[in-house]
Amino acid sequence: MYKLLTEQNNAQTQKLTKQIQESESNVTRKFNSFNRKIEKIHEKNVSFERKIRRNNILLFGFNSENCNSLIKDTLAKLNELFGTNIRESDINNLYKLGRKGDSPILIEFLSYLKKSELFKDAEKLRALKNTGYAISNDLCNEDREELKIIKKHFKKARDEEKQVKIKGLTLELEGKIYTAKQLEQSDTDTDSGGSNNYSEPSSLEEEEEEVIEEEYRNKTNKTEECRPEKAKKKRKKSKTPSPIGAHTRSNKKRR
């Protein structure tokens, strides 16, 4: 009798154990499936942000106290610095990201080709460092984080007197291209006691021009933007608040 009860108990225990394991397996499978879906949604959001920012630039160091003449004054300064002929008809929107005079100005071009004219002359870009002005691409949060990693490794390689330069969101080191993810992996390997060798270089092509500066972004997270009168009228018609210290398309809240 005791033996029979023991066998029945063991059989029931095994059955329950199997059911629990199957349930855990189902939960794990669903959890992994949800994670993959979330990652895909995140990738699509990042891709969308990159797309809407593609035609934008940021201008640093220019101070225009009169909001009503901001567009005219800014375009005049850009044409003066780069020898271009950018007109108001080339611009979708232009506004200041903050109330301070030295707040950066976000410029949305209608065409990527028109925007790229500002980055064609490398000598003029380098010459900006001596003028107090700077321009950069309008990067999303993910790209700014990647750029921080790339700049850290750029400085390290330059201190070690290696041949290095930044290309878009990649680092060209000794003739090989590395992404931020690969550079992070090299840091992880070093911290765990491994060698300081980088992983296989990326085969990605250059995405965009080198970014010069983006440090003003964190300073304007809670400030009102200075806009011309036309931009302000558009803002009143929209139910969605205009960007306050972040960079999205006009009249939409930036993350």
Say if residue 20's pLDDT is above 70: yes
How many structural domains are present in the chain? 3
Please give the residue range of the domain that contains residue 164: 141-191
In this structure, the answer to whether residues 46 and 64 fall within a common structural domain is no
Residue 215 dihedral angles phi and psi, to the nearest 5°: -70, -20
Q: Are residues 146 and 222 in the same domain?
A: no
Q: What is the pLDDT of residue 196?
A: 57
Q: Mean pLDDT, to the nearest integer, of 50-69?
A: 87
Least confident of 99-108, 114-123, 157-166, 235-244: 235-244
In the predicted structure, residue 88 carries a pLDDT above the cut 90: yes
Place of tokens 């095994």: 14
- Give the chain's mean pLDDT: 76
Say if residue 69 is in the same domain as residue 135: yes
Q: Do 80 and 134 sit in the same domain of this protein?
A: yes
Task: Please indicate, yes or no, if residue 28 is contained in any of the structural domains.
Answer: yes
pLDDT at 131: 82
**Residue 110 amino acid letter:** L
Within this chain, do residues 134 and 231 fall inside the same structural domain, yes or no? yes
Q: CATH no. for residue 91?
A: 3.30.70
Higher per-residue confidence, 86 vs 200: 86
Sign of CA dihedral 145, 146, 149, 154: negative
Q: Which of 105-109, 128-132, 225-229 has the highest mean pLDDT?
A: 105-109
> Does any domain span residue 72?
yes
Are 183 and 202 in contact by the 8 Å Cβ rule? The answer is no
Q: How far apart are CA 47 and CA 85, in angstroms?
A: 31
| 183 within some domain | yes
Judge if 146 and 178 occupy the same domain. Answer: yes
- Using CB atoms within 10 A of its CB, is residue 66 exposed (0-12), middle (13-18) or buried (19+)? exposed
Q: Is residue 248 part of a domain?
A: no
Give the C-alpha separation, 160 to 22, whole Å: 55
Together in a domain, 126 and 66: yes
Cα 170 from Cα 150, distance rounded (Å): 7
DSSP state at residue 226:
B
pTM greater than the 0.85 cutoff: no
198-222 tens-digit pLDDT: 555 443 333 333 433 344 444 444 4
Quick check: 237 pLDDT over 50? no
Q: Are residues 75 and 123 in the same domain?
A: yes
Residue 246 has pLDDT above 50, yes or no: no
Asked if residue 232 is part of any domain, the answer here is yes
pLDDT digits (tens, 9 = 90+) for 131-177: 888 888 898 888 989 999 999 999 999 898 898 888 888 899 888 99
What lies within 8 Å, CB to CB, of 160 at 6+ separation is none
Residue 243 lies in a domain: no
Same domain assignment for residues 23 and 35:
yes
Instruction: Please indicate, yes or no, if residue 197 is contained in any of the structural domains.
Output: no
Q: Are residues 96 and 35 in the same domain?
A: no
For 76-127, the DSSP string reads HHHHHHH-----GGGEEEEEESSSSTT--EEEEES-HHHHHGGGS-HHHHHH
Quick one: pLDDT at residue 153? Answer: 92
Last residue of a domain, one of 11, 35, 53: 53
Flag whether 106 is in a domain.
yes
Arithmetic mean of pLDDT, 60-88: 87
Domain co-membership, 135 together with 73 = yes
73 and 116 together in one domain:
yes
